[in-house]
Amino acid sequence: MKEPTADEFIVEENLVLTLYISGMSQKSMEAIDNLKWLCDKYLKDSFELEIVDIYKDPKLASEQHIVFSPSLLKKSPLPKKTLIGTLSDTKKVLQSLGIKIKK
Amino acid sequence: METLLKTPTGISGLDEITNGGFPKGRPVLICGSAGCGKTLFAAQFLVKGITEYNEPGVFMTFEESAKDLTQNFESLGFDFEKLQAEKKLRIDHVRIERSEIEETGEYDLEGIFIRLNYAIDSIGAKRVVLDTIESLFSGMENMILLRSEIRRLFTWLKDKGVTTVITGERGDNSLTRQGLEEYVSDCVILLDFRVIEQIATRRLRIVKYRGSTHGTNEYPFLIDENGISVLPVTSLKLDYKSPTEIISSGLPRLDKLFSTGGIYRASSTLITGNAGTSKTILAGHFAMSSCKRNEPTLFFSFEESPDQLVRNMATIGIDFEQAIKSKLLHIQASRPSLQGLELHLMVLHNLLDELKPRTVIIDPISSLITIGNTNEVRAMLVRLMDTLKKKQVNALFTSLTYDGQSEFNNSTIDTVSSLADTWIDLRNEALNNERVRSLRIVKSRGMGHSNNQHDFIISGKGFQFTSPNKK
């Protein structure tokens, strides 16, 4: 099967994302790699991404209700979603972020 | 080997059963079905830790919000807001919107670790509550991952040196739904709420407590406005003081039968006899003598209502009404079967604290025997006696014996006679054409006493001895 290219995906609105990681853990690193790859491939410039290390700001973990690490929060567009784990399930990630395949 | 250090729980009675409390710096699992008091148990451990042992605590709640918790425990006098303001308590509500969550790969619970670590360090917490961590599991796909993370969390808490109470809902075939008991190996406590013969009882059992001796029975516990109390609320110790002061039994002629001219203060007296041998009347005299000394008196009546008792006593010249009016006498009447045994004991304990009586009468103690098995009743009575002695209360118990049974062959006698300091036996025997009432002293610790039989009659003035008073 042919790999879909960037312009075959529709992103209706700019995605506002925050990735919460816990230091340099293996899972955190994997999540960063997976997300970067995904954004480069499918999102181009239509997203804002902030990466927060909860080790450096532990208070934030409670304020943002972080339980699982890594956690990717999609704040906008609604509905809000929290993607937990290494983001290795690309299909599920795209679906959860609301990225649709152009027919 | 290093001895196991303990952390007092702040739950009255539990420290006695566990020989000092929970294992210090280790996780403790409290499990039970819904509504059995798990959260309250955990909250009391935390709040008492702060108020009584100056150990700050972290309450991590997975179910109720901090606001709900605060409101729920307000009625018990747990002021969460104040404790938070004083930086003695931190509440962290772990709220998970399951519908917003997607699992996209492997994850860990580092969020929980960081939040706990932050909360613990910010107030120097020594105690932690996780209520109920199992709710993390609901709706999640990767159970194996979660389990190993929970295991890691418990180990981490242990390394952190905090004493942690983890609550868990009772599962079908295991103590908790997710088998948390496998990971908490130090101390597991099971709470139970059941209805036996229409009486709802809460019970507690220590399933395991590694490295420590502990009581293995099921212990009743109660939830009232003071929180949880596990019975026994008092320990079994023979270390009370014994006063040498002599008080009157209420009858000068009876006092003379003892070489000391009366009975010791804070001693316990047992009156046995068949039906109709005037046990209650003797108890009435005893109560009046206490009132005459201006000492508050508590009369537990399991057979007669206060009104009936007052009326009947009046016919033999014992003025209970005046004593009640002057607030020296308090009559607490209830049917023994109305409440469970532990509730009777609790009522008694509460009244002891409230009224601070110097004399307590239980008429008859044999009624209590009918509502529990002998072992249970005996254990309860032993504790009751110890409590009364500790509080330096004069105690008098009446006990009904039946025809045909010897005085040494009766369940009540077996149960209480060894606990009584003075034992008076009453009889009512048919002789010729009349019934002759008589009194004998079976024993009286620490004093000489008459060995004779003393006949008496009941007149408008109550007890009156008829036989000459021989020593």
pLDDT digits (tens, 9 = 90+) for A36-95: 888 888 777 778 888 999 998 888 888 888 999 999 998 888 888 899 999 988 888 888
Residue B307 has pLDDT above 60, yes or no: yes
Task: Report helix angle A26-38 to A90-97, nearest 10.
Answer: 60
C-alpha distance from B114 to closest chain A C-alpha (Å): 6
Question: How much is the CA Rg of chain B, to the nearest whole Å?
Answer: 28
* Residue B241 in this model has a pLDDT that exceeds 80: no
Cβ contact A82–B102 (<8 Å): yes
Residue B199: per-residue pLDDT: 61
Q: What is the pLDDT of residue B287?
A: 92
Does B3 or B114 have the greater pLDDT score? B114
Tokens of A7: 């312009």
pLDDT value at position B162? 94
Q: Which domains does chain B show, CATH number per domain? A: 6-230 (3.40.50.300), 246-465 (3.40.50.300)
Cβ distance B187 to B33 under 8 Å?
A: no
**Cross-chain Cβ contact B102/A71 below 8 Å:** no
ipTM (interface pTM): 0.87
Residue A79 to residue B100, Cβ atoms within 8 A:
yes
- Which whole number is the average pLDDT over B12-25? 86
Closest alpha carbon within chain A to B101:
A82
Average pLDDT over residues B176-199: 78
- The CATH architecture annotation of domain A14-101 reads 3-Layer(aba) Sandwich (3.40)
Residue A2, helix vs strand vs coil: coil
Long-range contacts, B215-220 (Cβ 8 Å, 24+)? B215/B16, B215/B17, B215/B18, B218/B192, B219/B13, B219/B17, B220/B340, B220/B341, B220/B342
pLDDT at B410: 59
Q: What is the pLDDT of residue B413?
A: 65
Lowest mean pLDDT among B101-110, B212-221, B371-380: B371-380
Question: Are A69 and B109 inside 8 Å of each other by CB?
Answer: yes
pLDDT of residue B471: 42
As a whole number, the mean pLDDT across chain B is 84
Q: Which residues pair with B59 in a beta bridge?
A: B91, B129
Least confidently predicted of B75-84, B125-134, B167-176, B244-253: B167-176
Write down the pLDDT at residue A53. 92
* Tally of CB atoms within 10 A around A13: 11
In this structure, the dihedral spanned by the alpha carbons of residues B166, B167, B168 and B169, taken in order and rounded to 10 degrees, is 180
What pLDDT, on the 0 to 100 scale, is given for residue A2?
45
Each domain of chain A, given as residue ranges in start order, spans 14-101
pLDDT tens sequence across B49-66 = 999 999 999 999 988 888
User: Cα separations (Å) of B267 from A50, B286, B414?
Assistant: 77, 13, 19
Q: Which residue has the higher pLDDT, B83 or B347?
A: B83
Flag if A68 and B114 touch (Cβ within 8 Å).
Answer: no
Tokens describing residue B313: 């006593």
- pLDDT over 70 (residue B170): yes
On the question of pLDDT at A101 being above 70, the answer is: no
Do residues A18 and A52 touch, judged by C-beta distance below 8 A?
A: yes
pLDDT attached to residue A12? 64
Q: What is the pLDDT of residue B376?
A: 63
Torsion, Cα B210 B213 B219 B223, to 10 degrees, reads -70
Helix axes B306-314, B279-292, angle to 10 degrees: 90
Percent of all residues in chain B with a pLDDT value above 90, rounded to a whole number? 29
Identity of the residue in A54, A66, A85 whose CB atom sits nearest the CB atom of B103: A85
pLDDT, tens digit, for every residue of B330-339? 998 887 665 6
Q: What is the residue whose two structure tokens read 């007092």?
A: B8
Mutate to test the interface with A, among B59, B63, B104 (most CBs of A within 10 A): B104
pLDDT for residue B34 is more than 50: yes
Predicted local distance difference test score (pLDDT) of residue B54? 92
User: Given this model, what pLDDT does residue B414 score?
Assistant: 66
* Residue ranges of A 60-99 with Cβ closer than 8 A to chain B: 61-62, 65-72, 79-89, 92-93, 96
Q: Tell me whether residue B391 is exposed, middle or buried, using C-beta atoms within 10 angstroms of its C-beta: 0 to 12, 13 to 18, 19 or more.
A: middle
Identity of the residue in A68, A80, A83 whose CB atom sits nearest the CB atom of B111: A68
Q: SS3 breakdown of chain A: % helix, strand, coil, rounded to 5?
A: 35, 30, 40
Nearest Cβ partner for A86 among B102, B104, B109: B104
Q: Is the pLDDT of residue B97 over 90?
A: no
B52 and A CB contact within 8 Å? no
pLDDT score for B350: 79
Contact assignment for A65 to B96 by CB distance below 8 Å: yes
Cα–Cα dist A73/A91, whole Å: 17
The larger pLDDT score, comparing residue B374 to residue B205, is at B205
Statement: residue B419 has pLDDT above 70? yes
Q: Is the peptide bond before A79 cis (omega within 30 degrees of 0)?
A: yes
Best of B98, B99, B114, B130 to substitute, by most chain A Cβ atoms within 10 angstroms, is B114
